[in-house]
Amino acid sequence: MDPRQGLRLLLPAGAVDRDRPRRPGQGRGRPRDHLHGRRRAAPGRPHQPAALRRPHAGLLHLAGHDAAARRRGAHRHPGRRRPDQPRPAGRVLDRGPGLAGQRRQRCRHRLHRGRRPVTAPVRTRFCPSPTGTVHVGLLRTALFNWAHARHTGGSLVLRIEDTDAARDSEESYRHLLDSLRWLGLDWDEGPEVGGPHGPYRQSQRHDVYREVAAKLAAAGHAYESFSTNEEVEARRLAAGQDPKLGYDNADRFLTDAQRAAFRAEGREPVLRLRMPDSDLAWTDLVRGEVRFAVGSVPDFVIVRGNGAPLYPFVNPVDDALMGITDVLRGEDLLPSTPRQLALYAALQDVGVAAGPPRFGHLPYVTGEGSKKLSKRDPQSNVDVYRERGFLPEGFANYLALLGWSIAEDRDVFSMAEMAEAFDVTRVSANPARFDLKKAEAINATHLRELPVEEFVERAVPFLAGAGLVADPPTPEQDRVLRAIAPLAQERSVVLSDVVGLLGFLFVEEVQIDPAAAAKNLRPEDGEVLDAAADALRDLDDWSTAGIEQALKAALVEGLGRKPRQAFGPVRVAVSGRTVSPPLYESIELLGPERTLARLAAARGAAG
């Protein structure tokens, strides 16, 4: 016999299912009756499809519900026909009473926006854990939370989940904040900003968790569990079940005597949350209805044997305490949502939470292939892009495209434009591949749109980092930089490109790229270098136009070479590369001395 069946009778129903007065707008459906169900919790099996309770029928929930129902194609308006097709048992969603009335005004379709009733202001949060490098997927999540908050006029809370002392570091923490700010994200509450719900680092909130855990235990929502993993596995095996099913809720109804006996053995219990005896479902902001059957999620550990609270516990607790209304997070957390919902119900019951938040599970960012971009993958490290000289606005723009689009025929936009247009219910549910080429193209567009002075300003650190100019540049360097900048700007994809492109202007002797030499400094090119040197040596008008005229006369007309054959060797001699800014301008800026010296040096190399 299933131990749970008999034991359940022993539980005082009131211990869990208190019929508390509810806040307006909540508890719209039937009372939540976690443990009143008479059904057997057959894992993964459909069951009693009828009138589901809506355990989480907060106001906010309904708003989200409708928005996402639309995504699923269920965009029906009052008066329009609803295709009430028969659905198989177990998949039926009873939307509960009162919903139609609610939906009427809640449509957030572009055309219907603005008629939305005022609801509680949106509060989103971003809660990274400072362990090592910053992942592009993480930053994308932060960006979407930011955009959602800004778009709705709500606020963004930053909370640091540093409960893992072994992996967290102060350095990672600093770096994380720095990366967020680099991208252009700001938060309304959190570290270094403060706010009424602090502290915002979980390492400083242990007392809070202890207190909440005690409340949950006192109310019967959580209970002490003594089973070891080995014992659970043994029981599963003995029952002919897959041990992967996990904990079997065996300790749910231990008597005081049993508990005492376990303690006498020296066992330290963990605290587990009692999962409700009903399906757990929610309407995801990006995916629509998601449902987990009763029994598919076992009672989970919220506090370790040593008293340390665990992530699945502290995360919702803090969300509740901080008044978070919208949780936008990675798809990887989707399977843990039923637990969060159950926890929320319990928290609500003990007066800690006002109601569950809306959830939106953002699609994965994948790398090559279709696997989730791993933290180990160098491509996932945001620093790489930053160091290469991606513009924050360009990178943010690209990140936004990973799952969202601003319009049918546009994909270049600013952060402000994103905030203006962002609608989380229009985020795609598909995983998105990180495409470096496209990221570069988007960035290049932003780069070119920069005012020249700003381009120079942003490029200087890269030039200085390569030891090419002083920071700030000397007046002479500044003069050269300003003159060449427009030509470099339209040839750059990322800021660091200027190092290779302009380096030759800031060194005394140029390093000639061997491949370039092989191609353009052959023995037969010697005459070109000689002629160019002769033409430039006596040039009075050292200007772009003067240089152009002199070189054309000497090389094209004088030697009868085609432009390509004429200017290639000169370019390599002067810049060291086959690719450079326009030649005449480059020579002008380089000046007669260095130009002639390089032509002579290249003459030697050409043989």
Min CB(472)–RNA separation in Å: 27
Closer to RNA at the Cβ: 23 or 77?
77
Query: Alpha helices, DSSP H only, in 422-578?
Result: 436-449, 452-465, 475-489, 497-502, 514-520, 526-537, 544-551, 563-575
Largest distance between two CA atoms of the chain: 108
Q: How many chain residues bind RNA (CB under 7 A)?
A: 99
Min CB(251)–RNA separation in Å: 11
Closer to RNA at the Cβ: 22 or 438?
438
Question: Which one of 215, 372, 375, 519 is the catalytic residue?
Answer: 375
Task: Find the binding residues for RNA in span 73-92 (CB under 7 A).
Answer: 73-75, 83, 85, 87-88, 91
Task: Find the binding residues for RNA in span 156-175 (CB under 7 A).
Answer: 161-164, 167
Closer to RNA at the Cβ: 312 or 558?
312
Q: Which of 40, 174, 448, 479 binds RNA (CB under 7 A)?
A: 448
Task: Find the binding residues for RNA in span 324-383 (CB under 7 A).
Answer: 331-336, 361, 363-364, 366, 369-372
Closer to RNA at the Cβ: 427 or 456?
427
Query: Alpha helices, DSSP H only, in 165-254?
Result: 170-183, 206-218, 229-238
Give just the sign of the alpha carbon dihedral 377, 380, 383, 385. Answer: positive
Min CB(104)–RNA separation in Å: 16
Closer to RNA at the Cβ: 27 or 403?
403
Task: Find the binding residues for RNA in span 267-306 (CB under 7 A).
Answer: 268, 270, 287-288, 290-293, 296, 301, 304-306
Task: Find the binding residues for RNA in span 378-407 (CB under 7 A).
Answer: 401-405
CA gap 420, 147 in Å, rounded = 8
Pairing of strands 365-366, 432-433: parallel
Task: Find the binding residues for RNA in span 168-227 (CB under 7 A).
Answer: 202
437 is known as an active-site residue: no
Min CB(417)–RNA separation in Å: 15
Min CB(382)–RNA separation in Å: 17
Interface with RNA, residue 94, by CB under 7 A: no
Q: What is the dihedral of CA 48, 52, 56, 62, to 10 degrees?
A: 140
Length of the chain, in residues: 607
Closer to RNA at the Cβ: 293 or 450?
293
Query: Is 336 exposed, middle or buried, given 0-12, 13-18 or 19+ CB atoms closer than 10 A?
Result: middle
Choose the stretch contacting RNA; rule: CB under 7 A; options: 188-196, 215-223, 532-540, 560-568. Answer: 560-568
Task: Find the binding residues for RNA in span 427-446 (CB under 7 A).
Answer: 428-433, 435, 437-438, 440-441, 444-445
Min CB(224)–RNA separation in Å: 11
CA gap 464, 456 in Å, rounded = 12
Q: Which of 154, 246, 546, 592 binds RNA (CB under 7 A)?
A: 246
CA 331 to mean position of chain CA atoms: 11
Closer to RNA at the Cβ: 271 or 354?
271
Interface with RNA, residue 409, by CB under 7 A: yes
Q: Centre a 10 Å sphere on the Cβ of residue 185 and count the other Cβ atoms it contains.
A: 23
Closer to RNA at the Cβ: 164 or 527?
164
Is the peptide bond preceding residue 199 cis, with omega within 30 degrees of 0? yes
Min CB(249)–RNA separation in Å: 12
Q: Which residue has the tokens 């005492």?
A: 260
Give just the sign of the alpha carbon dihedral 492, 497, 498, 503. Answer: negative
Taking alpha carbons only, the member of 281, 302, 306 closest to residue 291 is: 281
Choose the stretch contacting RNA; rule: CB under 7 A; options: 17-25, 190-198, 531-539, 564-572. Answer: 564-572
Min CB(13)–RNA separation in Å: 27
Choose the stretch contacting RNA; rule: CB under 7 A; options: 16-24, 319-327, 462-470, 566-574. Answer: 566-574
CA gap 352, 314 in Å, rounded = 13
Q: How many CA atoms lie within 13 A of 506 on its CB side?
A: 25
Interface with RNA, residue 148, by CB under 7 A: no
What tokens were used for 90? 């177990």
Interface with RNA, residue 67, by CB under 7 A: no
DSSP string covering 308-366, please?
Answer: -B-HHHHHHHHHHHTT--EEEEEGGGGGGHHHHHHHHHHHHHTTS-SSPPEEEEEPPEE
Residues whose CB falls within 8 Å of the CB of residue 376, separated by 6 or more in sequence, listed in order: none
Task: Find the binding residues for RNA in span 122-141 (CB under 7 A).
Answer: 129
CA 450 to mean position of chain CA atoms: 26
Choose the stretch contacting RNA; rule: CB under 7 A; options: 18-26, 151-159, 238-246, 388-396. Answer: 238-246
Task: Find the binding residues for RNA in span 27-66 (CB under 7 A).
Answer: 43-44
Interface with RNA, residue 311, by CB under 7 A: yes
Interface with RNA, residue 548, by CB under 7 A: yes
- Please give the helix or strand (H or E) that residue 292 lies within, else none: strand 288-292
Q: Which of 23, 39, 82, 109 binds RNA (CB under 7 A)?
A: 109
Closer to RNA at the Cβ: 12 or 85?
85
Closer to RNA at the Cβ: 17 or 168?
168
Closer to RNA at the Cβ: 17 or 326?
326
CA 316 to mean position of chain CA atoms: 19
Task: Find the binding residues for RNA in span 567-586 (CB under 7 A).
Answer: 567-568, 571, 578-585
Min CB(118)–RNA separation in Å: 23
Q: Centre a 10 Å sphere on the Cβ of residue 373 and count the other Cβ atoms it contains.
A: 21
Return the CA Rg of the chain.
33
Min CB(371)–RNA separation in Å: 4
Q: Which of 2, 490, 524, 541 binds RNA (CB under 7 A)?
A: 490
- Could you give phi then psi for residue 81, rounded to 5 degrees? -70, 140
Site string for RNA, 504-543 (x = CB under 7 A): ----------------------------------------
Pairing of strands 358-362, 326-330: parallel
Min CB(575)–RNA separation in Å: 8
Interface with RNA, residue 19, by CB under 7 A: no
Taking alpha carbons only, the member of 305, 310, 322, 213 closest to residue 262 is: 305
CA gap 277, 274 in Å, rounded = 9
Residues taking part in catalysis: 375
